[in-house]
Chain A
Amino acid sequence: MALPNHTPLNYRIWHYTYLTFCGLVFFFLIAPLFVILPLSFNAEQYIHFSSKMLALDPEGFSLRWYEDMIYGTKNPWGLATKNSLIIAFFATIGSTILGTVAALGLSSRHMPYKAAFMALLISPMIVPLIISGTAIFFFMAKVGLAATHTGIILSHIILGTPFVVITVTATLTGFDHSVTRAAASLGSNPVNTFMKITLPLIMPGVISGALFAFVTSFDEVVVVLFLAGLENTTIPIQMWVGLREQLSPTIMAVATCLIIMSTLILVSAELLRRRSERLRGINQ
């Protein structure tokens, strides 16, 4: 963003103020995440930068909190990770299938009351989680699914579907329906057409919706707080419990692992988005 030579001074000042402000906002967005990384390698038990760390003395750093996370006594993280992965896996599958099928129907121009259905199906994303949690807890307690994986998975499917519906509907807006008609005229049945023509074309939208659903379930804490028993503890629950007691370096280690995971998810989501735009012929 170099300015031309003839730019008057007051515009110059204005322009650099603007860039500085933007720089500060980007710093505000991203810096908090990077505070956690060095602290997770702290050799001491406190959550602040020790003088040894600031001097970059190797003695100031250690992997002990990662060891504690994996091998520590009475360590809850193993069970929590297992539960989180199981719950997120099934919730993702459920949300993706239900959401994709519904998005296909919602994108059809024959769908009646489209806006009303859309508003209802997206609502779990808008309604505050505390309300969803309360309502779902009453329901699950009534049908005997409180403190079970099934109950948590079902509620996470609900919370994940809006994202799938949104991303898949977005992919379908540029969809050329003549290809499915071409397939039909060549004698393909609807299921075959869907599997061989439609699905591969909308796949980027489906996968990015699935990623959203996965992250939603994997991060979700409010509904699980209401539903989970001791056996159903998840990573967010353990973090919540840990943060309420005291900040421990082990939590910093877990948080670092989660940041690495979200970086990977971000990269895949971005690649998918670009691929989807290329497939649909949207030029950058």
Chain B
Amino acid sequence: MSQKQILSSDGIPLEESLKKAERKNKLKAVLLVAPLFLFILIIYVFPIGDMLFRSVDDRMITKMLPKTFNAMEKWDGKDLPDEEVYKGLYDDLTFLKKNKTYGKIIARLNYEKSGFSSLIKKTVRKINKFEEGNYKEQFIKVHKRWGKNEYLVALKNTAPNWSYAKYLKGMDRKFDQDRNIIQVEEDRRIHKILWLRTLNVAFWVTIFCFVLAYPISHLLATLPMKYSNLLMICVLLPFWTSLLVRTSSWMVLLQQQGPINDLIVWIGLAADDNRPELMYNVIGTFVAMTQILLPFMVLPLYSVMKTISPSLMRAGKSLGGTPLVSFVKIYFPLTIPGIGAGCLLVFILAIGYYITPALVGGASGSLISNTIAYHMKSSLDWAFASALGTMLLVGVLAIYWVYNKLVGIDNIKLG
């Protein structure tokens, strides 16, 4: 080597010593992040993964009717299956009856094809009277649907361990018996309405927030500090106040005998005995969500506007621009990062809102989150709740990704 190596005081080449120190620093930084990372991984990321898994998991039927499915593997589904399949079905159903666990499969099978509910119930009731041998005939004697190919095909269709049927249901689609994807009946297409309403509410709430927040952020950023600090309280106090408190104040304001309706009657816009419904519909959701999410729009806008020097507008004026032209050409473009940050944040928060729509939204103002909660707590269709949750999550993560690209997640400002 022509160049002389530089050695550090303990005789190790400097380059190596530096690399070692860098490695050590890197390790130190990683070790500091590790506890929170692992914590979030175990209690947050894995559970969300588990939720994804639940939404496609369809092993229940296969597990509960093992012999039937074993026998069905050889069946091509064209004609009625052989005796072997019915024998398997007999064994499985007898076992389920003994353990009283057949209730579970009824709901799942009835979802696949309506009519299964009465079929299974009737069969289970009479299964003790079955005699050895010739099960096929006995099954068909108990219920003629066992002799119809479509029911057995439907049963075979539940065999795969994974199914995206719940996602289809979330999009108002389903499989027909030939496994084609079709739309559900017109009067049952509720989820499409729900998704559109959720997007609609999130979109308009974002627009309203922007329209209301832009002027006041500008005022806050241009006023002298002692006034703007005072006005900032109007933004920060709602921000720090409990969501339920803010929602309950809207319930007070919007109720039929509430102050806003009193005002409407007093002005003469409506008769006293014909007060408009402001709550338990989409109007309530719009108004309350706009007020609740407004601080999330003001804060990023304000922090961007704060950095814009007032001399820029003066320069525009001195060069002959009218205030409007200077605003459109100078001020507005400079605030676009703040607009992006605020709009994305409000949209993300609005699209998953639950509490406020549930309390002031009524049936016509409820959003996708409310449906997820309904399936979690009332209908107990956890797989469907998981599927809807996953669909919503994918949407939110997509916006989050855009946000991260445009704004940078470490640029979020709080208070």
Contacts and interface: CB of A to CB of B under 8 A. Distances in A.
Interface of A: 1, 11, 18-19, 21-22, 25-26, 28-30, 32-33, 35-36, 39, 46-49, 98-99, 101-102, 104-106, 108, 110-112, 115, 117-124, 126-132, 134-139, 142, 154-155, 157-158, 161, 163, 165-167, 169-170, 208, 212, 215, 218-219, 221-222, 225-226, 236, 239-240, 243-244, 247, 251-252, 255, 258-259, 262-263, 265-266, 269-270, 273, 284
Contact of B372 (A29, A134, A163, A219): A134
Contacts of A122: 409, 412
B60 interface: no
Contacts of B30: 105, 111-112
8 contacts: A32-B253, A35-B259, A48-B255, A115-B408, A126-B348, A130-B373, A259-B241, A266-B237
B410 A28 contact: no
Contacts of A104: 32
Given A33-B245, A110-B26, A262-B237, A134 B36 contact: no
Contact of B355 (A11, A208, A221): A221
Contacts of A29: 234-235, 238, 291, 294-295
The 9 closest A-B pairs by CB, nearest first: A128-B352, A105-B32, A139-B47, A105-B33, A102-B36, A108-B29, A135-B47, A110-B25, A111-B29
Contact of B404 (A1, A115, A170): A115
A239 B244 contact: yes
Given A30-B234, A128-B352, A134 B248 contact: no
A22 B257 CA distance: 28
A88 to B, nearest CB: 12
Given A123-B400, A135-B47, A258-B242, 11 more contacts: A25-B213, A36-B249, A102-B36, A105-B34, A117-B37, A121-B33, A131-B396, A135-B44, A135-B389, A255-B248, A258-B245
B247 to A, nearest CB: 7
A135 B51 contact: yes
A134 to B, nearest CB: 5
A194 B394 CA distance: 40
A226 B376 contact: yes
Contact of B223 (A1, A18, A48): A1
A130 B352 contact: yes
A214 B30 CA distance: 27
A132 B54 CA distance: 15
A157 B249 contact: no
A149 B67 CA distance: 44
A155 B43 contact: yes
A120 B39 CA distance: 12
B202 to A, nearest CB: 11
Nearest to A102: B36
A121 B37 contact: yes
A243 B193 CA distance: 27
Given A243-B359, A270-B236, A33 B241 contact: yes
Given A131-B393, A139-B47, A265-B240, A166 B372 contact: no
B283 interface: no
A221 B244 contact: yes
B237 A30 contact: yes
Contacts, number: 268
A138 B51 contact: yes
**Size range of the chain B interface in the assembly:** 35 or more
A221 B243 contact: yes
A102 B32 contact: yes
A142 B409 CA distance: 32
Contact of A134 (B237, B247, B294, B389): B389
A60 B343 CA distance: 44
Nearest to A236: B244
A147 B347 CA distance: 32
A174 B356 CA distance: 38
Contact of A138 (B33, B47, B249): B47
B404 A132 contact: no
Contacts of B382: 138
B231 interface: yes
A11 B317 CA distance: 14
Interface string B375-391: 01100001001100100
Interface in B31-50: 31-37, 39-40, 43-48, 50
B414 A128 contact: no
Nearest to A157: B39
Given A1-B223, A130-B373, A222-B354, A118 B410 contact: yes
Contact of A49 (B46, B259, B359, B385): B259
Given A25-B216, A115-B404, A284-B225, A128 B32 contact: no
A132 B253 CA distance: 31
Given A21-B215, A262-B241, A36 B252 contact: yes
